[in-house]
Chain A
Amino acid sequence: MIKTERSFEGVYLALAIGALLIAPFILTESYTRHLLILALIYAVVASNWDLSLGYGGLFNFAHLAFFSIGVYGYGIMAKSIGISPWLAIPLAGLLSVAAAMIVAVPILRLGGIYIILVTFAFSQLVLQIVVSQSDITGGNMGMVGLPPLKLPGYNFVRDGKLGYYFGAVILLLSSTFFLRWLVNSPTGLSIVALRDNADYAVSRGISLAKQRVITLTASALFTGIAGGYYGAYIRVASPDAFGMGLLSLLLSILLVGGTSTIYGPILAAFLLTFISEAMVDLGPWRHMIVAVMIVAVLIFYPGGIWQAATGFNEFLKRRLGGRVARKTSAQST
């Protein structure tokens, strides 16, 4: 509807989907499949964080809490209450949306560092609730033995977790289509407009408070669903899901991938999950090397690896464009 520059988005998307469909038949080992599934889930969480942090420019540190609320929401609904896992996963998404509405209220008109403080306090609050309400959440021990996903006569964990893999692929695809649709819609543009210049945006009729609620709730939807799916796959809900380890992994996926791109964090989720895993024998060196890599990427490619990828795309366009131009000039002579 709103003109953007022509790109190869469709072509690259088709290639990426093709690769995701073929991958599990090449990477048949159970542990590799496990990493792929984790990467797919992290990709969903990081790319949705990109909506609030990248496009919205909101330093939202409650994003991981939205994910954890999804995990615990799934655990409580599917195990304690006994709702069907297929229903509990989308409901976990709605639970995170409700949480996003709650956190949106105090930060409606705040800016910068105050958003970090409030959202960080919110996630600590949720963590303390989880730890203290051990009758419901299992406290520090967490919840174990969450119900797995099953179709009649088929457990998703069979065939080397093939069911979970394709479930995660479908999750990532729906999340990505949702995000791309949103950021290209007038609502998405208004979110960027508020980031670029809030006063000017308001004087063009855009409501700061309303769009901020939309930004946070939209970014929580698939994050919560991914949390529910993670719970159904790992079958454990533990307070670790709030931890600094996962937070810094997701933040580095987002920054290395490149903010305000959606695709960047998705690419980085696969890259960082596998690079980090490839160095597992190095012990503590692994974290140091990853940290140095992140610093290096941010110095040389502040726009993340997506900036490098689009640079390649521009190069390709110039080459193709040049060839077309030569052809037409050859025909005209």
Chain B
Amino acid sequence: MALLKIENLSKNFGALKAVSGVSFEVRKGQIFGIAGPNGSGKSTLFNIITGVPFSATSGAVWFNGQSISGIAAQKICHLGLARTYQRETAFDSLTAYQNIALGAVFGPGEREATGAATLEERVCRAAELVELDRARLARKASELSIFERKQLMLASALVMEPKAMLLDEPASSLTKPEIAETIRIIRNINARGIAIVLIEHVLPVLLSLSQRLLVLNHGEMLRLGAPDDVVRDEQVIAAYLGKRGARDAEAA
């Protein structure tokens, strides 16, 4: 059974069709990649799935067998669907610890938090899983580096004990070693049975992680399939990858 099911989802801004008739399914524990040129509606898709900051014009979203179209954004999060943002976002005037703790306290909603773990244990476990240095937890979020802020954003999503995570360009503006670490972190998160929907421009990340790949163009679905097939598709090469990109994709 599909964990996340998107049916004919569309979002219009006036005459502009940002997302148009997108449908796909993500199974439990799967890593599902989404690619496409800038402005092809990838982030808008995440926005309308999670209801932050706006909901879809038409179409339906099912999560864990329940329709989540049009319900309050924090309730979607309580059901176990967590997201991160393209820009490394944090509550800047709070410490890293407090950032994660907020996710731990408010994220699960009415769901019971796991076992008898204390708040501190849950926060530290999440930080450990994203390889965020424990000594940095007492720092203000605004004092952390870009990579640490990305780790922090992942930890604050992870601590909510989600069933699925929507990751919006986790590897953007990172160095090569940091990208390698990000791939490892996402694998570790996925190994805990959490399904992942991944928007990414960094091809090695996308191709080494995704089991299914969707390419969007002008808000519409260009191609959906196994990553190897998708990157060889001529339409995908023409619209997104380009010839060099296709060679890089082969290499990856």
Contacts and interface: CB of A to CB of B under 8 A. Distances in A.
A294 B219 CA distance: 53
Contacts of A5: 138
Contact of B73 (A186, A189, A190, A202): A202
A192 interface: yes
Interface in A197-212: 197, 199-208
Interface in B146-162: 156-157, 160
A205 B101 contact: no
B109 A201 contact: no
Contact of A193 (B82, B85, B102, B160): B102
B138 A205 contact: no
Size bracket of the B interface: 35 or more
A205 B108 contact: yes
Majority secondary structure, B binding face: mixed
A203 B97 contact: no
Contact of A190 (B72, B106, B156): B106
Interface in B169-210: none
Size bracket of the A interface: 20 to 34
Nearest to A260: B93
B161 to A, nearest CB: 11
B81 to A, nearest CB: 9
A204 B94 contact: no
Nearest to B82: A203
Nearest to B106: A205
B77 A205 contact: yes
Contact of A201 (B72, B91, B157): B91
Nearest to A55: B93
Contacts of A189: 91, 94, 98, 101-102
B138 A196 contact: no
A243 to B, nearest CB: 33
A112 B134 CA distance: 37
Contact of A204 (B53, B120, B137, B156): B156
A158 interface: no
A327 interface: no
B94 A186 contact: no
Interface in B76-95: 77-78, 82-83, 85, 89-95
Interface in A179-228: 186, 189-190, 192-193, 195-197, 199-208
A328 interface: no
B172 to A, nearest CB: 17
Most chain B CB within a 10 A radius of its CB, from A186, A195, A202, A203:
A203
A278 interface: no
A2 B103 contact: no
A147 to B, nearest CB: 44
B74 A186 contact: no
Contact of A205 (B74, B95, B119, B137): B74
Given A1-B119, A2-B101, A186-B101, A205 B91 contact: no
B52 interface: yes
Contacts of A205: 74, 77-78, 103, 106-109, 160
Contacts of A190: 102, 105-106
A203 B102 contact: no
B50 interface: yes
B106 A196 contact: no
Interface string A95-112: 000000000000000000
Nearest to B79: A205
B74 A207 contact: yes
A208 B106 CA distance: 12
Interface string A1-20: 11111000000000000000
A200 B98 CA distance: 14
B85 A200 contact: yes
Nearest to A193: B91
Contacts of A3: 95, 97, 120, 137-138
A206 B76 CA distance: 11
Contacts of A186: 101-102, 105-106
A203 B94 contact: no
Nearest to A185: B105
Most chain B CB within a 10 A radius of its CB, from A195, A200, A206:
A200
Given A205-B78, A205-B109, A199 B102 contact: no
17 contacts: A3-B97, A186-B106, A189-B98, A190-B105, A192-B91, A193-B94, A197-B89, A197-B92, A202-B77, A203-B77, A204-B77, A204-B106, A204-B157, A205-B77, A205-B106, A205-B160, A206-B74
The 6 closest A-B pairs by CB, nearest first: A205-B106, A205-B107, A196-B91, A186-B105, A205-B77, A193-B91
Interface of B: 50, 52-53, 72-74, 77-78, 82-83, 85, 89-95, 97-98, 101-103, 105-109, 119-120, 137-138, 156-157, 160
